[in-house]
Chain A
């Protein structure tokens, strides 16, 4: 069965071959392969290796720019971030130097001036080893009392004036011009000899002074032709009754200090220049307690109420026990000056020390043990005389986003972190460690994730190049299309009509030929910069301007061709058949210029791409966030970026070069193919 079928097929084939031999003869027309003009051009074009190379390159470029983005994972405006470890200032440790005030009794009014001066007052008390000081603000008196190591109280004191001492201006009496004698102010005052006569002689005018027996007197006009007489006297002037004998000696001994005690009573001195006022102390009300010490609780994150600290500080050198937050605590001074606070069960609850360790940003609290570890390290640093130190301690673990990691039960996870401690010149200690932060992925070197790396804005360079290629190529096409369109219309009209139309258009061509296009484009760019124009509008304006300035060459070419074609027979024929002028120009003349136009267009594409990328490189063309090849290079045009990020600009620059070369090769090849004898 199969055999017979095969036989039959073979026979049929033999028959077919024989009949074919018979039909084609040597002189048969179909034996001569006739190529259409288009095919001839194509054949010549294909023979040119450089042109074929250029075509291949162009196809590649178009696929890369227009189809590439469809398959590429990243967009042109997609910003990439990364998690990066950064050495941050984690904590700050320092010996406290400023006294902090805690309000003990908010009902006690304290002068702002005194509160502000507390730090300097306490320091000067420490310097002069005073335990108690009285400070005055106007009429008000305040007491600063040392309770214990680094703990002071500020209280409002109740005082009563006793006397003044030292040189004081005393009113002697009133001199009356009517009685011509001095009425003494004090009833038991001794009469001053000659004062009446001296006063009568000198008391003129509103005020003045005179001298008598070496003592100077001042007078001031009072009412009813009388003068008040004053003189400066040394000694005690009592405003209250004298406390007793020996008091004045005690006051004189105490001058220069803040106070003294006499007869079991406390007195204070308010010195003002040469005089001192002496006050008796009646009582005080504690308003605030001041201390260098800061509180650290043993349990991290324990909330402490506002009244805990003052209560503890007040109790430390007093009763030793206090209640705060409804719980009872005891507080004990330690040898090194710290205060230990125990709760009701006798367990250590918190500690007051003059050395603080806190988070640098103050954003959260630190572990007590970590603080202790840092403190120990700093102590050992100090004892060794070093300014830097290191320790490893488990810190709360961070995930990639920089937030803390908790396990299933909600407990913080820790990992060992390297902490470095550095002493600053100011004496503070800074604790640094590596922490994870989220940053824009700038200038990443090429990797498998970003084949050409990322640029300064965190964009993927390859994606930018693809989208940039779209715009660069599109600008080339649009501009060249505009040039050709304008050129064909103007050149066609000039060539066909001749005479004055030709003259007019050709003068226009001359003018446009002479316009310096690069400077004008730069000026346009600067103008659009000044107007802060949208980048898409800029793109359109730029393309229009480039097209408008480039048509002159095309018009010249079209006109020249049409001038010679116009005289040929087929044009006479079109005239004879009465074809419309418009179609005579654009359907019969212009198509004959097409080969040259195509060549011009192809070559022009390259120069437009160069022009556009140059403008964008100068920052005067298309702007960020739109990408073009020029803008990408512009983004790394500064000297340092250029030197360090060659992986960004070299591929882009090569791409521009290759594209332009490809256009030129193709244009060259096309010209050779259309007209092998043409002049290049």
Chain B
């Protein structure tokens, strides 16, 4: 197990190395005028202390633009490994500072939706599987399909239209109400929580469909398995068959999937956060992307890639831990 984990970690590191190289190459091959524009903009900012030429040379040196793509990449990764990610251009503070300022909002948002997804999707999926081809089953199937097919931006706009514009229950966007500063600490918490309602609902609906289908499929498969038939033949009560024999076996793939989703809770919801102006890491990175904030983008993409690889690893390890039939090697 330990050996397997170490092997996988090394393997992930290699993949990460190449993923980052591709992203770096993409950034590197941005039209040069782009860096020039950036330098010109930085030089013409009020209070700029460096001239255009200085900025250009500085930026080129800072990101190894003068050393070719491979050399520059090694400089960047050398800095990154030492924890030196540079200063964000768009936010003008160290990249890690931006990360610290934003990631917990994203995590809170994702965590809430994650919990609700599990609470809603799993019971619904199991109910659907128990009575295959019933109304409940068709409803779940169609409902999950609608959730899967819903574009985030349309759902978010629809929710805003209904709950903010027509009903006036929530603010259109943002994280704080107008008199946030006058509220007590608990009031502030409630205010932010209220602003998180619509984004959470968006995330829940977008993600719930897949989980529901997955639960249903796995439950169906388990229910058709031989040991369930045996249990029923032995006269085990149906309740026990479902809740003990079937459900526990359904949990195996579910736990691995849900465990694999855990690191993703930190990655932020790019579109949802941007649409609702939640100052999470997704919104921050979207702003950075549209402003070509290379240091922060590189950081964010590395972060996401690490989370993806970590998710895969956790998922595989959990599979081995939960299912005794699986031997990891």
Docked-complex contact A530 and B141, CB < 8 angstroms? no
Q: Chain A contacts of B34 at CB under 8 A?
A: 527, 530
Task: Judge if B111 is at the interface, Cβ distance under 8 Å.
Answer: no
Q: Chain A contacts of B308 at CB under 8 A?
A: 514, 516
Task: Judge if A643 is at the interface, Cβ distance under 8 Å.
Answer: yes
Docked-complex contact A514 and B149, CB < 8 angstroms? no
Select the stretch in B74-82, B158-166, B177-185, B231-239 that faces chain A. B158-166
Within 8 A of A (CB), among B271-329: 271, 274, 285-286, 289-292, 297, 300-301, 304-305, 308-309
Select the stretch in A174-182, A291-299, A332-340, A656-664 that faces chain B. A656-664
> Provided the pairs A530-B34, A642-B165, A679-B217 are in contact, do residues A519 and B270 lie with their beta carbons within 8 angstroms?
yes
The complex places the Cα of A522 from the Cα of B149 at a distance, in Å, of: 21
Docked-complex contact B305 and A516, CB < 8 angstroms? yes
Task: Judge if B145 is at the interface, Cβ distance under 8 Å.
Answer: yes
Name the contact of A531 in the complex, choosing from B31, B142, B290 (C-beta under 8 A).
B31
B38, closest chain A residue (CB) = A530
Docked-complex contact A656 and B151, CB < 8 angstroms? yes
Docked-complex contact A514 and B19, CB < 8 angstroms? yes
Docked-complex contact A653 and B19, CB < 8 angstroms? no
Q: Chain B contacts of A614 at CB under 8 A?
A: 151-153, 271
Within 8 A of B (CB), among A489-526: 507, 510-511, 514-516, 518-520, 522-524, 526
Q: Chain A contacts of B300 at CB under 8 A?
A: 519
Task: Judge if A357 is at the interface, Cβ distance under 8 Å.
Answer: no
Q: Chain B contacts of A374 at CB under 8 A?
A: none
B152, closest chain A residue (CB) = A614
Chain B: interface size category = 35 or more
Name the contact of A519 in the complex, choosing from B14, B149, B216, B304 (C-beta under 8 A).
B304
Docked-complex contact B285 and A519, CB < 8 angstroms? yes
A610-637 vs B, CB cutoff 8 Å, 1 = contact: the mask equals 1001100110100000000010010001
Task: Judge if B136 is at the interface, Cβ distance under 8 Å.
Answer: no
Q: Chain B contacts of A557 at CB under 8 A?
A: none
Q: Chain A contacts of B160 at CB under 8 A?
A: 642
Docked-complex contact B292 and A530, CB < 8 angstroms? yes
> Provided the pairs A614-B151, A664-B148, A679-B217 are in contact, do residues A522 and B19 lie with their beta carbons within 8 angstroms?
no
A668-680 vs B, CB cutoff 8 Å, 1 = contact: the mask equals 1000000000011
> Provided the pairs A507-B15, A613-B151 are in contact, do residues A523 and B26 lie with their beta carbons within 8 angstroms?
yes
B307, closest chain A residue (CB) = A516
Docked-complex contact B292 and A518, CB < 8 angstroms? no
The complex places the Cα of A511 from the Cα of B17 at a distance, in Å, of: 9
The complex places the Cα of A620 from the Cα of B153 at a distance, in Å, of: 14
Q: Considering residues B19, B152, B216, B285, which has the most beta carbons from chain A within 10 angstroms of its beta carbon?
A: B19
Task: Judge if A250 is at the interface, Cβ distance under 8 Å.
Answer: no
Within 8 A of A (CB), among B93-138: none
B14, closest chain A residue (CB) = A507
A644, closest chain B residue (CB) = B165
Docked-complex contact A526 and B290, CB < 8 angstroms? yes
Docked-complex contact B19 and A664, CB < 8 angstroms? no
Q: Chain A contacts of B286 at CB under 8 A?
A: 522
The complex places the Cα of A653 from the Cα of B160 at a distance, in Å, of: 14
> Provided the pairs A514-B305, A526-B289, A642-B161 are in contact, do residues A660 and B149 lie with their beta carbons within 8 angstroms?
yes
The complex places the Cα of A526 from the Cα of B18 at a distance, in Å, of: 23
Docked-complex contact B301 and A516, CB < 8 angstroms? yes
A510, closest chain B residue (CB) = B15
The complex places the Cα of A132 from the Cα of B217 at a distance, in Å, of: 108
Docked-complex contact A530 and B23, CB < 8 angstroms? no
Q: Chain B contacts of A526 at CB under 8 A?
A: 289-292
Task: Judge if B2 is at the interface, Cβ distance under 8 Å.
Answer: no
The complex places the Cα of A680 from the Cα of B128 at a distance, in Å, of: 14
Docked-complex contact B289 and A511, CB < 8 angstroms? no
The complex places the Cα of A649 from the Cα of B165 at a distance, in Å, of: 15
Interface of B is mostly: helix
Number of A residues near B (Cβ < 8 Å) is 44
Docked-complex contact A530 and B37, CB < 8 angstroms? yes
Q: Chain B contacts of A679 at CB under 8 A?
A: 217, 221
A332 to chain B, nearest CB (A): 68
A598-614 vs B, CB cutoff 8 Å, 1 = contact: the mask equals 00000000100010011
> Provided the pairs A519-B289, A523-B289, A643-B161 are in contact, do residues A610 and B149 lie with their beta carbons within 8 angstroms?
yes
Q: Chain A contacts of B291 at CB under 8 A?
A: 526
> Provided the pairs A514-B15, A519-B304 are in contact, do residues A50 and B153 lie with their beta carbons within 8 angstroms?
no
> Provided the pairs A642-B161, A661-B145, A679-B221 are in contact, do residues A522 and B290 lie with their beta carbons within 8 angstroms?
yes
Q: Chain B contacts of A530 at CB under 8 A?
A: 31, 33-34, 37, 292
Docked-complex contact B158 and A653, CB < 8 angstroms? yes
Task: Judge if A665 is at the interface, Cβ distance under 8 Å.
Answer: yes
A637-651 vs B, CB cutoff 8 Å, 1 = contact: the mask equals 101001100100110
Q: Chain B contacts of A657 at CB under 8 A?
A: 146, 149-151, 154
Task: Judge if B1 is at the interface, Cβ distance under 8 Å.
Answer: no
> Provided the pairs A520-B23, A653-B151, A657-B149 are in contact, do residues A527 and B15 lie with their beta carbons within 8 angstroms?
no
Task: Judge if B30 is at the interface, Cβ distance under 8 Å.
Answer: yes
Task: Judge if B22 is at the interface, Cβ distance under 8 Å.
Answer: yes
> Provided the pairs A526-B292, A649-B157, A656-B151 are in contact, do residues A519 and B301 lie with their beta carbons within 8 angstroms?
yes
A609, closest chain B residue (CB) = B151
Task: Judge if B195 is at the interface, Cβ distance under 8 Å.
Answer: no
A473 to chain B, nearest CB (A): 15
Docked-complex contact A606 and B23, CB < 8 angstroms? no
Docked-complex contact A633 and B153, CB < 8 angstroms? yes
The complex places the Cα of A642 from the Cα of B308 at a distance, in Å, of: 35
Q: Chain A contacts of B297 at CB under 8 A?
A: 519, 523
Q: Chain A contacts of B285 at CB under 8 A?
A: 519
> Provided the pairs A519-B297, A522-B289 are in contact, do residues A511 and B154 lie with their beta carbons within 8 angstroms?
no
The complex places the Cα of A510 from the Cα of B14 at a distance, in Å, of: 10
B25 to chain A, nearest CB (A): 12
B291, closest chain A residue (CB) = A526
The complex places the Cα of A620 from the Cα of B271 at a distance, in Å, of: 13
The complex places the Cα of A679 from the Cα of B218 at a distance, in Å, of: 8
The complex places the Cα of A660 from the Cα of B150 at a distance, in Å, of: 8
Q: Chain B contacts of A518 at CB under 8 A?
A: 270-271
The complex places the Cα of A637 from the Cα of B153 at a distance, in Å, of: 10
Interface of A with B (CB < 8 Å)? 50, 507, 510-511, 514-516, 518-520, 522-524, 526-527, 529-531, 606, 610, 613-614, 617-618, 620, 630, 633, 637, 639, 642-643, 646, 649-650, 653, 656-657, 660-661, 664-665, 668, 679-680
Interface of B with A (CB < 8 Å)? 14-16, 18-19, 22-23, 26-27, 30-31, 33-34, 37, 141-142, 145-146, 148-154, 157-158, 160-161, 165, 172-173, 213, 216-217, 221, 270-271, 274, 285-286, 289-292, 297, 300-301, 304-305, 308-309
- Nearest 3 A/B pairs, CB to CB: A660-B149, A653-B154, A680-B217
A-B contact pairs, 12 of them (CB 8 A): A50-B142, A511-B15, A514-B309, A519-B301, A526-B291, A614-B152, A633-B153, A637-B153, A639-B173, A653-B151, A653-B154, A660-B149
